[in-house]
């Protein structure tokens, strides 16, 4: 196997051209040129041809995985499946409504079996049962991990939860490297999808946000530091930003990250643009929730602390210090 799948796949100009040809609405020559340059810079940064950290390893594997999946189900066949797909549900609306109803940040509860940093979080893992318990416990939306190799998730889980009649809108928690994955997530029942700024160049975020809108999906754009936040704030059309308290390269978690990124002019700009911010990762107690709420978030994304409880629905009351179900 090519030790650097990135070089031969996502970042090759031919694959970008091919992708853009499939989405003619966003096909611009100067965008392609700028992207070519960005790719060149990225490749120059890494001449060693081995992943420098876990995030890079995940993304390199993802490139290979997606190329194989796309071969089995090309975009044309995904588009066909979309003709009969049920409409998407309003992810942003559900977060706003929960925030209004409870006075707490709207909860995106994560269906998460394992992670590379924490190992297995729950042995008896029934995704549909957990999803139903979250919904009953007052979650506004759910996040479903679909990465198999590192998080033991799957698209089958996403599909099963959607088909089980769970009404909470669903976030597909993936490492998106190609637009094809957005179509796939939509076919499998997602209402929203994660786009990680540490993985995607600005032009991809811009272009993928447009594709999400076209498909009726909400894009949750995730940042971890000031630089990524500033990049994302300069991209038009972003409505939902997640601040990850976990550094995906080192696994270090620090919830003061959310506060730092919302201070001063950044916070002002976010309010001006009416962007909803999600506080992500490392939230365990009512004090943690109060802390990020005080910092300015209108939503939170929580996995570990609630998925580990024998009744994940009750885990939600524990997290908020109050029953937030209807
Ligand atoms: O289990 P936690 O610490 O509550 O974190 C949930 C969620 O924020 C985390 O799973 C996450 C946030 N961004 C990601 C990107 C990829 C994989 C996972 C994540």
Is there an atom of ligand 1 within 6 Å of 288 CB?
A: no
- Going from the Cα of 184 to the center of ligand 1, the distance in angstroms, rounded, reads 21
d(CA 256, CA 150) in angstroms, rounded, equals 26
Q: With beta carbons less than 8 A apart as the criterion, state whether 148 and 58 touch.
A: no
- pLDDT level of residue 49 (50, 70, 90 thresholds): confident
Helix (H), strand (E) at residue 13: helix 13-22
d(CA 189, CA 93) in angstroms, rounded, equals 18
Q: Quote the ipTM score.
A: 0.99
d(CA 79, CA 86) in angstroms, rounded, equals 13
Please choose, from the candidates 267, 255, 242, the residue with its C-alpha nearest in 3D space to the C-alpha of residue 106: 242
Is there an atom of ligand 1 within 6 Å of 302 CB?
A: yes
pTM of the model: 0.88
- Going from the Cα of 303 to the center of ligand 1, the distance in angstroms, rounded, reads 7
Question: What's the rounded mean pLDDT across residues 151-175?
Answer: 98
Atom 5 of ligand 1, nearest CA residue = 281
Is there an atom of ligand 1 within 6 Å of 303 CB?
A: yes
What integer pLDDT is reported at residue 235 of this predicted model?
98
- pLDDT level of residue 84 (50, 70, 90 thresholds): confident
- pLDDT level of residue 5 (50, 70, 90 thresholds): very low
> For ligand 1, what atom is nearest to the CA of residue 194?
15
Contacts 24+ apart (CB under 8 A), 56-62: 56/249, 58/116, 58/147, 58/149, 58/150, 58/175, 59/6, 59/175, 59/177, 59/199, 60/4, 60/5, 60/6, 61/5, 61/149, 62/147, 62/175, 62/177
d(CA 171, CA 173) in angstroms, rounded, equals 6
Question: What's the rounded mean pLDDT across residues 119-142?
Answer: 98
| 79 CB-side CA count, 13 A | 8
1-5, 69-73, 122-126, range with the lowest pLDDT: 1-5
Contacts of 306 (CB under 8 A, 6+ apart): 109, 110, 134, 312, 315, 316, 318, 319
């Amino acid at each position: 196997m090519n030790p650097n799948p990135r070089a031969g796949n996502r970042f090759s100009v031919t694959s970008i051209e091919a992708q853009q040809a499939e989405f003619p609405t966003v096909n611009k020559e100067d965008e392609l040129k700028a992207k070519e340059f960005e790719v060149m810079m990225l490749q120059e940064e890494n001449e060693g041809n081995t992943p420098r950290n876990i995030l890079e390893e995940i993304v390199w594997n993802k490139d290979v995985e997606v190329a194989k999946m796309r071969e089995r189900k090309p975009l044309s066949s995904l588009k066909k499946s979309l003709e009969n797909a049920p409409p998407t549900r309003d992810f942003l609306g559900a977060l706003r409504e929960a925030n209004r109803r409870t006075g707490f940040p709207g909860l995106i509860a994560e269906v998460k079996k394992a992670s590379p940093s924490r190992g297995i979080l729950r042995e008896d893992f029934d995704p549909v049962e957990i999803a139903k318990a979250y919904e009953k416990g007052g979650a506004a939306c759910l996040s479903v991990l679909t990465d198999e190799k590192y998080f033991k998730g799957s698209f089958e889980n996403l599909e099963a939860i959607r088909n089980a009649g769970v009404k909470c809108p669903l976030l597909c928690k993936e490492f998106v490297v190609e637009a094809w994955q957005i179509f796939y997530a939509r076919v499998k029942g997602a209402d929203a999808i994660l786009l990680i700024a540490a993985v995607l160049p600005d032009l991809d975020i811009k272009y993928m946000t447009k594709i999400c809108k076209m498909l009726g999906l909400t894009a949750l754009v995730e940042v971890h530091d000031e630089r990524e936040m500033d990049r994302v704030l300069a991209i038009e059309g972003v409505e939902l930003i997640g601040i990850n308290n976990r550094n995906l390269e080192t696994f270090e978690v620090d919830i003061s990250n959310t506060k730092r990124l919302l201070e001063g002019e950044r916070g002002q700009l976010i309010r001006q643009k009416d962007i909803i911010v999600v506080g992500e990762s490392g939230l365990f107690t009512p004090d943690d929730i109060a802390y990020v709420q005080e910092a300015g978030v209108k939503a939170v994304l929580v996995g570990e602390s609630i998925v580990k409880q024998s009744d994940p629905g009750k885990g939600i009351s524990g997290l908020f210090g109050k029953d937030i179900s209807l």
